[in-house]
Each structure stands twice: as C-alpha cells, then as structure tokens.
Structure 1
Amino acid sequence: MEEMVQNLVNSQKAYFYSGATRSVAFRKKQLKLLKEAVKKKEHEIMDALKKDLNKGEFEAYLTEVGFFYSELKDIEKNMDYWAAPQKQKSPLSHTGSTSYIYKDPYGVTLIISPWNYPFQLALTPLIGAIAAGNTAIIKPSEFTPNTSMVIRDLIASTFAEEYVAVVEGEADITKALLAQKVDYIFFTGSRETGKKVMEQAAKNLTPLTLELGGKSPAIVTEDADLKLAAKRIVWGKFMNAGQTCVAPDYVLVDESIRRKFLKLIIQFTKKFFGPEVRGKRSYPRIVSENHVDRLAALLDKNKISYGGGYDRDSRKVEPTIMMDVQMEDAVMQDEIFGPILPIMSYQYEHEILDIVRQRPNPLALYLFTENKDTEDMVLNNLSFGGGCVNDTIMHITTPYLPFGGVGESGHGAYHGKDSFDTFTHRKSILKQTTKFDLPVRYNPSQSTIKTLRKLWE
C-alpha cells in the first residue's frame, strides 16, 4: 500500500515537473472535461447520494452538483486574469526596476474530503487545484462508498492517473498519503482529525488548508423579524439532517421573545420537515449507526419541545427542538452535526458575547436583528469564520466571498478566486534594469544615510 501511494505521488511529481499543467489553455481544457464528465454521470451521482445519505434530487442538486457547476462557471470565467502575472508598484529607491507577482502552482495536491457532502467537498476543491495548475490526489470518505465509487470512476475515465487520481480506503490509506511529501494538503473534516492532519503536515512543513467546524450560533434579538428568522434557521439547521459544518448549532434568543420564537420554530419545522413532508420526499439519513447513538445520547427528554424520535436501524433521527438548554448540558459540549436544535436565552445583549466566547471560534455565526448597533457589536467583537445577518448558510454559496474558519474552526479559505489563490503560491519577482546601476547601496557613507532617510522616513 505504501509503495503504491509513493509511486503515485512520484508519478504526479514527474508529470508536474514536465510543465504540462502550467498553461492556462491546458487547465481550461481539463476543467471543460471535468464538467462534461459530471454532466454525463449526473444521474449516477444523484443515485449514489441517494444510496449513501438518502438525499433527494432537489437537495442533491442544490447542495452538491449545482454547487459544483456554480463554482466551476465562476473560475472558468475569470482564471485568465487570475493566472496572469500581476504588476506591482516599485518604490523610488528601486528606480529602474519593475515588480511582479507570479502565480505559481504548488505541485502535487492532496484533497481529503468528508462524508456529509461527499461529492461537492471532493470536487469543488479539485476545481481550484486544476485551475491553479496543480496535479491532485483525492481521498474521498469511506463512509459514503457509493459516492466514492462514482467519483473514482468519473476521475479515472477523464484524467490520467499521473494528473488526477482517486485513492479509496480507510484511515490507514489516509495515513499513508499524509506520510508522503506532497506540496499542498486540503482537508475538510472534524477538528480532531484536522489536528492529526496538521501534525503530519508539520513533519514536512507542507502548507495546508483546514476546513473544520464548531458550534455555530444563531442569535435572535428582540427586534428581529421572528417569522423570517425561524423560517431561515429551520431551513439551515435541518437541511441534510443537520449534517452541515455551517448549520446553526444552537440558537441564542432574547428571553422576552423565547416562547413566541419557539412556537414559530416548531411551526416551520413541521411545515418543512414534519412527518407528512418526510413521507412525501427523501429526508437524509444519518451517516452511520454510531452517529445515531452519539446523537441519541445528546437528547434530554425533559427539554424536548418537538421531535426526539430516532431509529438506529434505518439511521433516521427526527428533527428535534430542545428548549431552555444550559451550557453544561451534553448537547452544548461539542458540535452536534445532526438534526437537534438547542435553544438558549439571554437577558441582556452583552451576555451574547460572553456566551459565544465560552466555546472556540465557530465556523459560522448568524445574527437576526434590525438594529445596526447590535449588528456592529456582534460583528466587531466576536471572532468566527463567516456568516450572515438575517439569514443562514447563504454566505458559503456565493463565489465572491471566501469560505473558511478561524482558530479551531479552520485555517485558510476557498470558493471563487479564493479557491484559485489557495492552490497558488504568489511568487515575488523584481526585474532590475542593466542600463544603469544606482551607486547608493555600494556607498556606506553619511550622505547615503541622509539620502535613505529622505526616501524612507
């Protein structure tokens, strides 16, 4: 196994060093081939997502395939400009020179993707890697085997292995890949696994992006549009059965409106994800029986206001609302990653900062308010990856905003231009004239110091 992985990395390095991936025309051609391959296998992708996670056609297109197309379209449109050397200013002290930033691909990239959005989170980073001129090795999640198999077949039928390859397997394969001296690592997954990835990367000083998670709060203030807040929180939370890294993990609501808000949250949960709705359309499954057990252990029957049902054999957990939750409760200790929504309340606005700061920096934060001062207080005083005011999730669906965490929720960002930049080294180049040679640097005198002071101070 280790020899196989090493041979693959060596073959990709040799292909990268051949210069084949560097021209923008080549990169564009590969992205076109990738899009055509996805179009051709779209039905198989949808079918695999249905088998692995019970995703319906609409949700699978919205959050997986359509997302991929959107990212690809933006990068194809702009990559000529992004890839071109960028001329910079040169200071007066460098008279005669010109300065540039060259956009250099890293080389062999390793993309390790998770199971919750198994197609999108494997292929979307690949777009950035290809656009930037790299080769790529994709390690899909073993917990979604059908989607992993489709990705493997799609890539194998489209690209040579020395350019883009898929390596399937469990943790031992990931460990073997991380032991190789690749040129860039892009990891999406849990915080604990992310620490191990970073530890391995440090051994070779390999640059990396970590897309992790955290307990992302949804804050609802007294002046918020409660109906719209409840509607958008329910949609963002229970999509993909809550198995979304940027899903609202818990709600922090003003005490004066908690009962009214609870009523609306239950109303929209029934409307969008109630038993009758779930009977008519596909509602995603929990990825494994162990995760069902983990979620069941978070339930406190004394605090459940809606839902609470689960079935281990079918890997189904009912959308669940828990009210009057406290920070010490089990459901508030770690990221939930499932369809359980705890609701806490606060009395004074300054408590919002204190409560959110009790947990590591979240990947996302959602604030529902009509008050600009409250908006400024939260956005300027809390550290989090990104988020929305008066919405959930939508900030990650635009190619014009970087998506990534901060602190324990991640390192680095991507989407749109940031995907291209993530897989690109910005190489600084100064081109000096040979027509003349300024004598200042060769003359360590008081007059030289005087001249430099005039220039620099």
Structure 2
Amino acid sequence: MDEREMEELRSYFNGGNTREATWRKQQLKGLLKFLEEREEDIFRALKLDLGKHPVESYRDEIGTLIKDVNVALDNLRNWMSGKKIKLPLAAFRCSANMVPEPLGVVLIIPSWNFPFGLSLEPLIGAIAAGCTAVIKPSELSPASSALLAEAIPTYIDSEAVKIIQGGVDVCGQLLQYKWDKILFTGSSRVARVVMTAAAKHLTPVVLELGGKCPCIIDSLPKSWLKEVVINRLLGGKFGMCSGQVCIGVDYILVEKQLCSSLIEQLKEGIKRTFGGNPEECVARIINKDHFKRLTGLIDEYGVRQSIVYGGSFDEDKLFIEPTILVDPPLNAEIMTGEIFGPLLPIITLNNIEESINFINSRPKPLAMYCFTDNNKFMQRVETETSSGSLLFNDTIVQYAADTAPFGGVGESGFGRYHGKFTFDTFSHEKPVLKRSLFPDFWFRYPPWTNKKLELLRAAFAFQYFYVLLIALGLKKPRKLPTHI
C-alpha cells in the first residue's frame, strides 16, 4: 500500500458515503453473505493454517462473527442516534446531544490464532461506526490471509476496506502512515513497536495483548458437577486452538491437598475429551518456530521433571500432546512468560487464600478464572485482584458476550471492543449544543459587580429561587471581598 492508496482511502471517507446508515448496513450484510457463502473455504483455510476441526472453526470464528454482524445490524440505528445531555441552569434554553461520529481511517492488525475472528470482528464495529479501514492479516496464517484478500473486496466496498497482505516489512510501512486509530492484537513486544509508531502522529491505539491468565481451583464438587468443572477447565486450556489463545488458562493455582485429585480428574478428562488420538481433535502449533519455543519451555532445567501427564510431541505434524506439569520452577520461562500452547502448569499452595498474593505479585492478566462455591472467597478475588475480565466457574465464555467489553488492563493491554463497545472504539462522541438567543444571562459578562458575583454563586450552587430574588432586586447581594 502506497501514499496514493492511503489518500484515496481518506478521500473516500471524506466523501461522506460511510456516514450513511444505508451504506453501513449494506457492508454488514456483505460480510454476513461472505461468512455464509464461503463457509467451506474458511474451514479449509483454518485447517491448512492451524489444523482446526470444522466444528471448532465454526464455534470460535464463523458462528461468533455471524452473531456479531446480526447484533450490529439489529442495533445500528440506536447506536448511531444521539443521546440527550442534561444541562445546568447556566445553559438555560439550551439543548444538547452526544452524537457519535466516525473517527476516519483505521488500521486493524490481527493475530494469527483467530485469523478471521480477530480481523473481522473489529471491522464490523469500524463499518458500523462509519470508518474506512485497512486490515493487515498475519503472514503466519497465509491461507486465511489469502482468502480474506481475495474474497472481502467482492462482498463489501473495496474503496472503503482494503486487505493488505505481507510480512513485518509491510506492517512497518503501514505504521508510518497517519491513522485515526489502530487496533492491534498480539504480543507485548510488537505492541511497543506499534505504540512507538503511533506516537509520531499522536494516533490513539487499542492494544489487545495477553499475559499469564490464572485459574484458581478452590474446590471440586463431589457430584456429577465435578465433570462439568473439568470439561470447562480443559476447554479453556486445550479446547481452543491447542491453547494458543490470549484468554486461555495459562496455569492453575490449587491447594496441595486437592492437587492429586485434580490431576487424576484432568487425566480422565483429557482421555474422555480427546480420545485415543488427540491429533484429530487438537489444533496444531502454528509453525516450527513456535513449536521449538514450546518444546524449549519443557527442556529448560527442572521443568521436564515436573511433567505428570503428556509431554510427547511430533515436530513433523507440529503436534504437542496436552501436557500437565506440577510445580515447575517459578523462575523458569514457563512461569514467567505467556505459554500460548498446550502446556498446563499446576502451582500448589498451602492455602487457597495465598492465590491472591501470588496473582498480585505478577503483571495483571487479560483474563482470570476461579472455580469456587465460596461466596466470601469470590468477593475477595473480585475486590483484591485486577484483570481484564474475571469469570467464576467457567472459562472463555466472557469472549462470546457481546454485551460485555473485551480488553486488558496494565500490561495485558488497554482499550476495549465487542458489540457496541467496538462501535464506540471507532467513534468520537461529540457533544452538540443548540441555544436560543433569548434570554441572555447578563451577569456572565463584565463589568463585575457584587450583584453579579452573588448571582453566579447562586447559579453554580443550583439555588434557582435565590437567583430570581437577586435578579428582581428582592435580595441584596453580599459585598465584594475588599482584600483582593
């Protein structure tokens, strides 16, 4: 993409087409048509890039996106409408609305683990807000990137939305341009590069990063509900993209006395969920570099000895077996950096209350999970920890809730999106006020007198009757201070 194409994109935005509700709806319907008509192609691309099963692909990307488009279509008029603002007496005979306006030309840089979801969900909000956009898909998921580049221009306005393929050099070139907003999903290392480039033009950014998302296990139910807990826990670690998920469970905190029982339940759950051949159900690692990074975590001194289940891998197939580790060294990389793969450390504690201090001693996570039926402990976890989101007794499901914002805090990122929140991310809420020329509050202007000071005091204190008495001469104002 060159300067000319960038100017054409901005000129198209300035032309005003994107501000019309009919244009926005037409583009959203085009996206919906793409998701429905090209479903098989999306399945194929995700299989080639990540080895995802079609059911996983539909659950995590196609189905979620269809839901998001329909939410935007159903609520677009309401999102676009202004909202009345309550005004003080000083603004008497004045009306005000908060009116959302599109920011302009935006850049979306998604990650490779959900190449369609992380590309198109921000685009849904950007289109709904009336922006033009450039998406730079990850070069690590080439089949998905190629499908987006080939298909999207045939379903939506190619003058308003462009898909730019390429590697790090292309991304670096795009970051040199002036954007009205940048939304980046990925690692904190690359996020620093994005922020540095954005600072040159004072461009606002949304950073969706990650970190080590902990899961506290306070207790396991004694009934059949125990299986529900294990299924939800395994789904939050191994059941999505082989653990290559920013909000996936990174590690577990549990009391020592409960650990052995939890391990046995997890082993049984893995066999029950993934069967005798987990390669058919578990997505593969994205490439050899990430594969070697993950196996390197296992090979670090003191880590391999902590494996209690799994640990096998196949480099040719980029497959790593779901693996459980107990108390690996806390200074090992597996416990200091985000794992982003099918390795699950379990850290044992003398008392589950220690989990709060353990979490607070580390960077704030993007997501945090806790399985407990203890309301008092729930309250402590809620009030004494900080995370992008907090979910009790389940995993991942918060991402599917378009009525709840998705975003991080601290080192796990900032800014938010999902549903209306994506619309807000790509909009500027502009206050628009209209006022009658009559009456005019004469005490706003010089020359200053005791009476004007008293009127202003009363007006700012909302003493409307007092203002009327002074204005009619029925109440004498206090004298001006003489020491000033």
Q: How does 1:415-454 map to 2 (within 5 A)?
A: 415-443=418-446, 444-454=448-458
Q: Secondary structure at the match of 1:429?
A: strand
In the other structure, the counterpart of 2:19 is: 22
The residue aligned with 2:66 is 69
In structure 1, which of residues 129, 132, 140 is the aligned counterpart of residue 129 of structure 2?
A: 132
Percent identity of paired positions between Structure 1 and Structure 2: 39
Counterpart CA distance in 2 for 1:222 and 1:42 is 41
Q: Distance in 1 between matches of 2:107 and 2:387?
A: 26
Instruction: Identify if the C-alpha distance between structure 1 residues 453 and 347 changes in structure 2 by more than 3 Å, giving closer, same or farther.
Output: farther
The answer to whether structure 1 residue 103 and structure 2 residue 103 are counterparts is no
Query: Which residue of the partner structure matches residue 482 of structure 2?
Result: none
Q: How far is the alpha carbon of 1:157 from its aligned partner?
A: 1.4
1:337 maps to a residue whose letter is F
Structure 2 residue 289 is matched with structure 1 residue 290: yes
Which amino acid in the other structure matches residue 453 of structure 1? R
Amino acid at match of 1:301: R
Whole-angstrom distance in 2 between the partners of 1:336 and 1:373: 31
The counterpart of 1:198, out of the listed 192, 195, 198, is 195
Letter of the 1:62 counterpart: R
1:361 equivalenced with 2:389 (yes/no): no
Q: 2:415 aligns with which of 389, 412, 417?
A: 412
Post-superposition Cα deviations, 1:134-183, rounded to whole Å, max 9, x if no partner, equal 00100000001000010111112123432100000000111111110011
Task: State the 1:455 CA deviation.
Answer: 3.0
Question: Amino acid of the residue matched to residue 455 of structure 1?
Answer: A
2:93 paired with 1:92: no
Q: Distance in 2 between matches of 1:5 and 1:273?
A: 48
1:289-321: CA deviation from partner (whole Å, max 9, x where unpaired): 011111011112211111001122211111100
**TM-score, reference length from structure 2:** 0.91
CA distance in 1, matches of 2:216, 2:289: 30
Q: CA–CA distance in 2 between the matches of 1:134 and 1:218?
A: 38
Unmatched segments (≥5 aa) in structure 1:
none
**Counterpart residue number, 2:478:** none
DSSP 3-state at the match of 1:16: helix
Q: Does the CA contact (< 8 Å) of 2:139 and 2:167 recur in 1?
A: yes
SS of corresponding position for 1:157: helix
1:39 aligns with 2:36: yes
Structure 1 254/446 Cα, relative in aligned 2: closer, same or farther at 3 Å?
farther
Counterpart residue number, 1:338: 341
What is the aligned counterpart of 2:397 among 394, 412, 427?
394
* Equivalent residues of 2:219, 2:371 under 8 A apart: no
1:229 is aligned with what amino acid? V
Instruction: Tell me the SS of whatever aligns to 1:104.
Output: strand
Where does structure 2 lack aligned partners over 5 or more consecutive residues? 462-484
Cα distance in 2 for partners of 1:446, 1:249 equals: 67
Do the aligned partners of 1:223 and 1:371 also contact (CA within 8 Å) in 2? no
Q: C-alpha distance in 2, partners of 1:453/1:63? A: 58
- My pick for the range that moved more, 347-356 or 256-265, is 347-356
CA distances 1:230-265 after superposition (whole Å, capped 9, x unpaired): 221111100210001100000001222111111111
Q: Deviations over 1:362-415 (max 9, x none)?
A: 000001110111011011111100131000000110111101101110111111
Range with bigger deviation, 225-234 or 396-405? 225-234
| Structure 1 Cα separation of the partners of residues 311 and 294 of structure 2 | 10
Note the C-alpha offset of 1:130. Answer: 0.2
Whether the 8 Å contact between 2:25 and 2:73 is mirrored in structure 1 is: yes
For 1:85 and 1:304, the matched residues in 2 are separated by 57
TM-score (norm 1): 0.96
Report the alpha carbon displacement of residue 96 of structure 1 after superposing the two structures with TM: 1.0
**Counterpart position of 2:243:** 242
Task: Name the CA distance, whole Å, in 2 between partners of 1:230 and 1:88.
Answer: 49
1:123 partnered with 2:124:
no
Corresponding residue SS for 2:236:
helix
Q: C-alpha distance in 1, partners of 2:449/2:268?
A: 80
| Alignment-derived partner of residue 271 in structure 2 | 270
Counterpart-to-counterpart distance in 2, 1:271 and 1:355:
32
Q: Which amino acid aligns with 2:44?
A: D
SS at match of 2:304: coil
Q: Which residue identity does 1:245 align to in structure 2?
A: C
Number of equivalenced pairs: 452
Q: 3-state SS of the aligned residue for 1:440?
A: helix
Q: Match of 2:203, as an amino acid?
A: T
**Matched ranges for 1:311-326 at <5 A:** 311-326=314-329
Measured against aligned partners, the alpha-carbon deviations of 1:397-437 in whole angstroms (never above 9, x if no partner) come to: 01111011011101111111101111111111221212321
**Is the contact between residue 382 and residue 390 of structure 2 (CA under 8 Å) also seen in structure 1?**
no
Note the C-alpha offset of 1:223. Answer: 6.4
How far has the Cα of 1:226 moved from its partner?
4.7
- 1:301 maps to which of 299, 304, 322: 304
Deviation at 1:282, TM superposition (A): 4.1
Q: Is residue 226–residue 261 contact of structure 1 (8 Å, CA) maintained in 2? A: no
User: Is the contact between residue 273 and residue 319 of structure 1 (CA under 8 Å) also seen in structure 2?
Assistant: no
Matched letter for residue 270 of structure 1 = K
Which of 157, 167, 183 does residue 180 from structure 2 map onto?
183
Alignment of structure 1 residues 136-175 onto 2, 5 Å: 136-175=133-172
Q: 2:230 aligned with 1:230, yes or no?
A: yes
How much has 1:446 moved relative to structure 2?
2.9
Shift of 1:449: 2.5
- The amino acid of 1:241's aligned partner reads S
| SS at structure 1 position matched to 2:438 | coil
Q: Rg: which structure is higher? A: 2
- Work out the CA distance in 2 between the residues paired with 1:114 and 1:327: 28
Match of 1:259?
260
1:332-389 per-residue CA deviation (whole Å, 9 max, x = no partner) reads 0100000000000122344112111222110000011101110110111111001310
Q: Is the 8 A contact 2:35 2:66 kept in 1?
A: no
**Equivalent-residue separation in structure 1 for 2:297 and 2:450 (angstroms):** 73
The one-letter code sitting in structure 2 at the alignment partner of 1:255 is: K
